[in-house]
Structures are given as C-alpha cells and as structure tokens.
Chains A and B, each alone.
Chain A
Amino acid sequence: MNKDKMKTMAFSNLVGSIIFLAIGIWAWLQTDNFPEVANTYVQASTFPRVMIVGMLIFSVVLLIQSIFKLMGTMKPTDPVAVEVGTLNPLKDKGVAAAYLVMLLCVLFAALFKSCGYILCAVVLSMIIMFLIGKRNWVQMVLVSVLVPLLMWLVFYKVLTVNIPLGPLNFLRTLVDMI
C-alpha cells in the first residue's frame, strides 16, 4: 500500500473498524460465560449479543468501505482522503503533550485517595499550565491553588460532599473552627 494512503482517514477508518471488530468478538466470547437462567425468554447474554451483532455488522461495513477506498485511487477531494493526525508522539509534539496529560490524569486518579484532591489538583494544573507555555508564575500559582481550594470549599460547605484531602486533612478542622 502507498505510504501516503496510510496517513488518510480511510486508513484510520480501516484500523478503527478492526479495533471495533476485535472488541465485538472479545465481547461475544465473554457472553458465552454468562450463566443461563431457566424459565426466562431473555437470557443475560441476549441483549448484549444483539448489540454486538449490530456493532460487528457496521464495523464490517466500514472495513469494506475503507478497503475499497484504499485499493482504488482516491481523489484528493474525497472526504476520506484527508490526512489525519498521527498517534506517534515522536512525530507530533501535540500528541506527546496529550499523552502526558493522560498520564497525569491517570496519576491523579491513582493518588486521589492517598494524596487528596487539593494537592493532586494543584500539581496537575501547574504542570499542565507549564506544559502549554504559561510562564506567568504569579498567575499560575494563584489559579492552581485557589481554584481547587475554592472547589473543595464549595463541595464541603455548600454541597456537603466530603472530599479526600490526604495530608491536608487539617484544612477541614480549620474550616470547621471558622
């Protein structure tokens, strides 16, 4: 296949359809393990299987459409001939930054309970602001500290939602005292 075609929407559709086909097949195999219940007309696996069949059918449609497009000569004006973004972080700094944000979000979710919301949110927003080119340190510190603090206060006092604070647990006592 022409290397340029691998950068098109048609190729990404091909990859997308294969991924959804794989998800569908995996899900179908999983439904085989659902226990069956006697005296019912609809088993636990029935509805998911209908959805899986629907997803597989349209994945195959997209796969066939993409193959035809890639095998033939696509006009540059064809909507699926447009160049799509890569997922390779080495080729695109934007994608590398997106991956970094995702990693930070995953770390945020993992450390949320032990380190607490405010600490995690301050670090997360500071790093993201720095990453996207913000260099006004006063604004950065003010925004990344005040926003999580204010949000915590609103949720704690107004909405009475207890949010993990980790090492900053003393804030709760402090606010209760005031």
Chain B
Amino acid sequence: MDFSLLLSSYATVWSNPEVLLMTFIGALGGVLLGAIPGMTATMGVALLIPFSFGMDLIPSIGLLLGIYCGGMYGGSISAILIHAPGTPAAAATLLDGYPMCKKGQAGKALSVAMFASFCGGVIGALIMTFLSPLVADMAMNFGPGEMFMLAVFGLSVIVAISGKSVAKGLISAFFGMLLCTVGLDPTNGIPRFITTKQTGLLDGFQFIPTLIGLFAVSEVIAGVERIIRGEEHEQKSNEKITNVLPDWKTIKRIWPNILSGGLIGTFIGAIPGAGGDIAVFVSYGASKSASKHPELYGTGIPNGVAATESANNGCSGGAMIPLLSLGVPGDSVTAILLGAFIMKGITPGPMMYVTELPTVYRVFAALMLANLCMLVVGCLGVRFFAKIVSIEKKMLYPIILVISLLGAFSINKNAFDVGVCVAFGIIGWLMNKYEFPLSPILLALILGPMCEKNFVRYMNIQRGNFFAITTSPIAMVFATVAILVIVYSVYNQSKINKRAAANAAQEKA
C-alpha cells in the first residue's frame, strides 16, 4: 500500500470545498430520508443521484456515500422515537432504543446511536482501506471465465436472500438479466427486442431511470394506495432531546459493543447480498451472548443500541470492499454507486487499483469524510430530526414523485426516460404487491453487462467450449459457492416458512 499517496489523497479530498459541501449535503439528505419510516437508503440514493450528474467523480461519490452513511444512522431516529425503524437496517435498534425512549432516555439513546454509528463507520472504512487492495491483488489473476463466474456468484447470493421465495427471487434475477439484453448487442451491434427505429432503447434501459422507477415511483404508488386504505398512520414524537453526545461513563460501558458491532458489520457487509439488516441482528445476538447480563437486553440499555448501530454503519465500509476490489456490489446501495462510477467512465474492479489508484484512495478518504459529516450533521440537527419522523406523508409522496421524474429526465435530457421510469414504477408496484423482489433486478442490471461481456470473451477465447471453465479452479470455487448458497437458501427458506407457520399456529391457538 502506498501510504504517501493515501495521505495525499486524504489531504486532497478533505481540503476540497466542493467535496466537503457535497458530502455534508449527502449526509444531511441521508439522515433526513433515513429518519422517515419507509424511506430506505437505497431510495435516498436513487432519489438524489441525479444531483450528482454535473459534478466530478469524487464530489458525486462523496454525495452518495454521505447519503449512504447518513441513511444508515437516520433509520435509528424513528426506531428510537416512534418504534418504527426508518430503514430495515435499523430494525434491531428499536429493541433497546425504544424502551430507553419510554424510560425518558430518548436523548441518551440517540446520542449513543450516533456515536456508535460514527465509530462503526470508521471501523468499516479502515478495514476497507487495508483489505480491499489485498482482495484486488488476488483478483488480478482473474480472466473472463472467472469474472463471469464471479458475476454469477454475486447474483446468486443476492437472489438467495432477497425474499420469501427463492424461485421468485431467481425469476426476478433472470428477468432483470433479460432486460439487460434489450438494445444493441455489445459485440455485433445487432438490435435485440427492438427495431432500429426505436432509438430511445438502442443503448437498452438506462440504469438511473429504471432504478428511480423501481425504487421511488413504485413506493409512491404503493404509499398512495396505503393512505387511501387507511393503513398509513401519521406518527408523532414529542420527546425532548437533551444529549448530543454520550458521556464518558456511557462510552466506557459501550465500547466493546461498538468494536464487535463494527467488525461484525464490516465482514457481513463484505459478503455480496448480506447487508445491514442481517448484520444488526447478528451483532445484537453476539453482544447479548457475550454479556454478563443478557437478561437486560431488550429492556432499554445503551449496549443494545451501540451493538446494532455500529454494525449497520460498519456495513457501509464492508459493502465497498467487493465493489471496489471485484466490481461486484455488496448491496443495492453499492449497486447504485457502481452505476455512478460507470457513468463517470470508471469501472471498479481489480484493474482500478492499477490504473486509477489515486481515485481508489480518494474514495477511501470520501467514505471516512462521509462518516465524519454524519457525526457533524447528527450533532447539529438531532433535535430537528426528532421532528422529521412526524412529517406528513400526504405532502411527502407528491414531492418524492416530482423529484423522481425530474431525476429520470436529467440523466440524458431525454423525455423518453421519464416514460421508462414510469413504466418501471408500475412494474415495480406490481412485483412488490405480489412479493417478487426488486433488488435482484437492480443487481442484474448492473451485473448483467459484466456477465455477458465476460461470457462472450470467454467463449471466443475457448472457441465455443463453455465447459473448459471446469479447468479453472477459481471459477469452479465461485460456481460451487453459488450453487451451495442457492441450495442452502432453499433449505433455509423452507425452515423459515415452517417456523413462521408454527408461530402463526401458536398465535391462533
């Protein structure tokens, strides 16, 4: 590792006013969106990505990383104050956060959540800085066959954990991969599923309008549906916030939980497909098992909040490891980040560590800065964010919709993309309604071209003999793990279904 380049990259990023401003705005936007129940970090990034179009790479990555880190912390605010996690990654925070709030310790819970989020994020960013170059170095030996299998592996893991039915997840993934093939064939320029007159689709479905449609427009349509049915209730919090940062005594009490949570979060986040929602429960469980007083967990202790919040922010650094070193996103937010890199003409992966090393180091610095901005935003605005959880959805949904549709237009300044966004909004609403997961489509849109490009290269090198891939041990490892993951997921899903059925039967009895 080139430490002098790393330090100079930190200096460049941290002294650039545009990067500082954009990262701060991102962190602010992320915390605001994350604090609103139902608004995920994915949606936040999808909504705000159009604002990064006119910028250079590092300010735009700073903006997106700010949203990512801010969104992870923001979710804890509503979990603590109104017992409704703002994001899935904050689901475990309410176990101890809300009881603390009921005991009149809302300020303490929020300050612990913020401090733990910051520390978890820093742990994740540090591990990413030192681990991802090693992974990239290993991946330098990958040829097209290995890269093809890597993409298949990435997709399999994500599909396997993305819903109640593995079959539905796989259908979504293959459907997404099929959508990637719409447009001109990348090798021979032959139009696929379109005529040459349909110029709007020659390059296929644009990533950003599709993403905004699937994750923002569909959510607005579903939200309107819920409001009309009376399923969406406005939630209010009148808690007075007194603490901004936890006191020294509390920090001494929670630091082991922060450390273990940060480490668990980073390593779980580094597995493609396993995100903050899994890490928080693993970290909470580990923290509880290691405690001398496990019976206190769930009654409102800061250790529980620290364990979960450090884990979900540790994930942000972890998820960046496969993104930067292998070009495979760790979760849906990093999939969008991958799209942002590609938009700026940079393809993450092992070669990036050779050709774009200063950029890689600036991304490391930007992630660290994003965590610091999150802490500053949190300290300055914690009293205000407590009010945000009560925002009226009747005003929020139309605002999200008009910003989303404008974002879809702005990528190519093409009104056709607005239509694409609306179409995917409708498809997303329908698929969500019938529990076909959307994340595999998003990841397929990112991994699909990588998959096809390497598949074509490999087939041409091997003169059409696909089964020559069995001679590559690395490709076979990826293929075996992909198969094992899918088989395990099918088994695990049937176990979960049985347990859910047993629980439901018990409740009925």
With a cutoff of 8 Å between Cβ atoms, the chain B residues found around residue A158 in the complex are: 54
- Whole-angstrom distance between the Cβ of B495 and the nearest chain A Cβ: 12
B429-A47 in contact (CB<8A): no
- Whole-angstrom distance between the Cβ of B270 and the nearest chain A Cβ: 27
A54-B422 in contact (CB<8A): no
Partner among A9, A105, A132, A162 whose Cβ is within 8 Å of the Cβ of B228: A132
A151-B403 in contact (CB<8A): yes
B415-A164 in contact (CB<8A): yes
With a cutoff of 8 Å between Cβ atoms, the chain B residues found around residue A170 in the complex are: none
B434 within 8 A of A: yes
With a cutoff of 8 Å between Cβ atoms, the chain A residues found around residue B392 in the complex are: 134
B278 within 8 A of A: no
With a cutoff of 8 Å between Cβ atoms, the chain B residues found around residue A40 in the complex are: 187-188, 460
B460-A147 in contact (CB<8A): no
With a cutoff of 8 Å between Cβ atoms, the chain A residues found around residue B413 in the complex are: 161-162
Q: What residue of chain B has the Cβ atom nearest to residue A65's Cβ? A: B167
B227-A133 in contact (CB<8A): yes
The answer for the CA separation of A151 and B408 in the assembled complex, in Å, is 13
Q: What residue of chain A has the Cβ atom nearest to residue B502's Cβ? A: A77
The answer for the CA separation of A55 and B422 in the assembled complex, in Å, is 24
The answer for the CA separation of A147 and B462 in the assembled complex, in Å, is 56
A128 within 8 A of B: yes
A101-B224 in contact (CB<8A): yes
Interface residues on B, range: 35 or more
Which of B84-92, B174-182, B339-347 is found at the contact surface with chain A?
B174-182
A143 within 8 A of B: yes
A175 within 8 A of B: no
B181-A16 in contact (CB<8A): no
B293 within 8 A of A: no
Interface residues on A, range: 35 or more
The answer for the CA separation of A148 and B51 in the assembled complex, in Å, is 14
With a cutoff of 8 Å between Cβ atoms, the chain A residues found around residue B502 in the complex are: 77
A159 within 8 A of B: yes
Count: A-B pairs, CB below 8 Å? 217
A48 within 8 A of B: yes
- Whole-angstrom distance between the Cβ of A166 and the nearest chain B Cβ: 12
Q: What residue of chain B has the Cβ atom nearest to residue A102's Cβ? A: B426
A54-B174 in contact (CB<8A): yes
Within 8 A of A (CB), among B390-412: 392-395, 397-399, 401-403, 405-406, 409-410
The answer for the CA separation of A46 and B181 in the assembled complex, in Å, is 10
A167 within 8 A of B: no
The answer for the CA separation of A162 and B164 in the assembled complex, in Å, is 43
B394-A129 in contact (CB<8A): yes
- Whole-angstrom distance between the Cβ of B336 and the nearest chain A Cβ: 18
Where the two chains meet, the residues of B that have a C-beta atom closer than 8 Å to any C-beta of A are 51, 53-54, 164-165, 167-168, 170-171, 173-175, 177-178, 181, 185, 187-188, 190, 192-193, 217, 220-222, 224-229, 231, 392-395, 397-399, 401-403, 405-406, 409-410, 413, 415, 418-419, 421-422, 425-426, 429, 433-436, 451-452, 455-456, 459-460, 462-464, 497, 500-502, 504-505, 508
Where the two chains meet, the residues of A that have a C-beta atom closer than 8 Å to any C-beta of B are 9, 12-13, 16-17, 20, 23, 27, 30-31, 34-35, 37, 40-42, 44-48, 51-52, 54-55, 58-59, 61-62, 65, 75-79, 84-85, 92-98, 101-102, 105-106, 108-110, 112-113, 117, 121, 124-125, 128-129, 131-134, 139, 143-144, 147-148, 151-152, 154-155, 158-164
